[in-house]
Amino acid sequence: MARFAGSRVSVAKPKTRIAMTVRTLLACTCALPLLAACGGDEETPPQDGGFGVGEEEDVNDRASTEAGGSEDADLPSEGPPGGEATFEAPGAPSAYEPEMIPLTARGNEPGWILEILQSGLSLDYDYGEQSLAADGYERTDLDDGARFTVTDQDLRIRVREERCTAASGMPYPYSVEVRLGERSFSGCGGETRTLLTGEAWRVTSVNGDPVTPSDTPPSIRFTQGDLGGSTGCNTYRAAYTLTGETIDINPGQSTQMACADDLMAQEEDFLAALEAVTRLRVEGEGALVLEGETGRIEARRGR
């Protein structure tokens, strides 16, 4: 029974009426269906503002709509980054999706580095002696990439979805051209890792020798920070690190199943060459070359 503290009520006689009132309150508290009988006519049905079954369902529906809205309602779009700057709606589908930002691009002669974020961008150039920043930009999606513009700083950036090889030999997924007033800079952008991850690479040769046919050909599958696959005999896994110029593959682990002598010899050469890798190239349509001082591995996408 509910209690109400902090107040005292004085009620005049007769006592029989007090006893009846208390009994009525007890009945209302313990049985919700009798609520209509409290202090009123027992035969009066719930009105529109009551708690009939149908009305209770309507209240729940309204609460759901107020909290989350209709499933078919259009969601408000996010505003453009940087307040006043706006993005142009793409005129055609593009593979350059918003989740590919942040984007880092860089180049040489003179050295420059560009950072494009959701909220704005920054550009350091002339080997860091000059810099600019913008809280927003206009973006136009194109069939082969995107264009970014900061009108009040006369800055235009063109990002193309075509593979770019830096002076270090490291491949990147985007070619980037920056125009600042009368000056222009060109270089590479994106992450090398995106060229490596995804479908597994099928090894075609180790140290110039074609791989020995087997039920499970040698393979390499890259993830965010690991790689693994088959040696042609056993399975293996290792960690790798990318820098702006090199790839470093740490010693890994492999299973220890015995195979034919030629497969065992190939496995030994493959793992030794893989551990020695310091450089990589992506050539043509899906050809990967991993090189080190003591070995070379060539692979292609797919089986």
- Summarised one tens digit per residue, pLDDT across range 68-121 is 333 333 333 333 333 332 223 333 333 334 467 899 999 998 999 999 999 999
112, part of any domain? yes
User: Which residue, of 191, 221, 239, is where some domain finishes?
Assistant: 191
Provide mean pLDDT across the span 257-274.
Answer: 95
Q: What's the confidence (pLDDT) of residue 82?
A: 31
Q: Which residues pair with 238 in a beta bridge?
A: 227
Q: Which residue has the tokens 């009988």?
A: 37
Number of domains forming the structure of the chain: 3
pLDDT over 50 at 190, yes or no: yes
- Percentage of the chain with pLDDT > 90? 58
pLDDT over 80 at 19, yes or no: no
9, part of any domain? no
User: Which residue, of 161, 191, 221, is where some domain finishes?
Assistant: 191
pLDDT over 80 at 43, yes or no: no
Query: What is the Cα–Cα distance from 197 to 283, expressed in whole angstroms?
Result: 15
Provide mean pLDDT across the span 61-69.
Answer: 38
The parent domain of residue 238 ranges over 196-301
Q: How confident is the model at residue 252 (pLDDT cuts 50, 70, 90)?
A: confident
> CB-hemisphere CA count at 13 Å for 167?
8
pLDDT over 70 at 294, yes or no: yes
Buried b (16+ CB within 10 A) or exposed e, 266-291: bbeebbebbbbbebbebeeeeebebb
Segment among 2-11, 109-118, 288-297 with least mean pLDDT: 2-11
Q: What's the confidence (pLDDT) of residue 168?
A: 87
User: Which residue, of 126, 156, 191, is where some domain finishes?
Assistant: 191
The answer to whether residues 150 and 228 belong to one domain is: no
90, part of any domain? no
The answer to whether residues 212 and 280 belong to one domain is: yes
* Whole-structure pTM value: 0.63
Provide mean pLDDT across the span 196-216.
Answer: 93
Q: What's the confidence (pLDDT) of residue 52?
A: 35
Provide CB contacts within 8 A for 102, sequence distance 6+. 115, 116, 117, 118
The answer to whether residues 59 and 146 belong to one domain is: no
Query: What is the Cα–Cα distance from 272 to 275, expressed in whole angstroms?
Result: 5
The answer to whether residues 174 and 209 belong to one domain is: no
The answer to whether residues 180 and 210 belong to one domain is: no
The answer to whether residues 128 and 42 belong to one domain is: no
Q: For the segment 158-187, what is each residue's pLDDT rounded down to a tens digit?
A: 999 999 999 888 999 999 999 999 999 999
Q: Domain of 283: which CATH number?
A: 2.40.128.270
143, part of any domain? yes
Q: How confident is the model at residue 281 (pLDDT cuts 50, 70, 90)?
A: very high
Q: What's the confidence (pLDDT) of residue 239?
A: 96
240, part of any domain? yes
The Cα angle at residue 101 between residues 77 and 114, in degrees rounded to 5: 130
Mean pLDDT of the chain: 75
The answer to whether residues 151 and 131 belong to one domain is: yes
In a 10 Å sphere around its CB, with 0-12 CB exposed, 13-18 middle and 19+ buried, how is residue 230 labelled?
buried
- Percentage of the chain with pLDDT > 70? 67
The answer to whether residues 233 and 268 belong to one domain is: yes
Q: What's the confidence (pLDDT) of residue 100?
A: 74
76, part of any domain? no
pLDDT over 70 at 189, yes or no: yes
Q: What's the confidence (pLDDT) of residue 130?
A: 96
pLDDT over 90 at 35, yes or no: no
Q: Which helix (H) or strand (E) holds 281?
A: strand 277-283
The answer to whether residues 216 and 184 belong to one domain is: no
The answer to whether residues 201 and 296 belong to one domain is: yes
pLDDT over 90 at 203, yes or no: yes
Provide mean pLDDT across the span 263-267.
Answer: 95
292, part of any domain? yes
The answer to whether residues 223 and 288 belong to one domain is: yes
201, part of any domain? yes
The answer to whether residues 114 and 51 belong to one domain is: no
Query: What is the Cα–Cα distance from 126 to 267, expressed in whole angstroms?
Result: 48
Say which residue, 283 or 262, is predicted with more confidence. Answer: 262
Q: What's the confidence (pLDDT) of residue 6?
A: 37
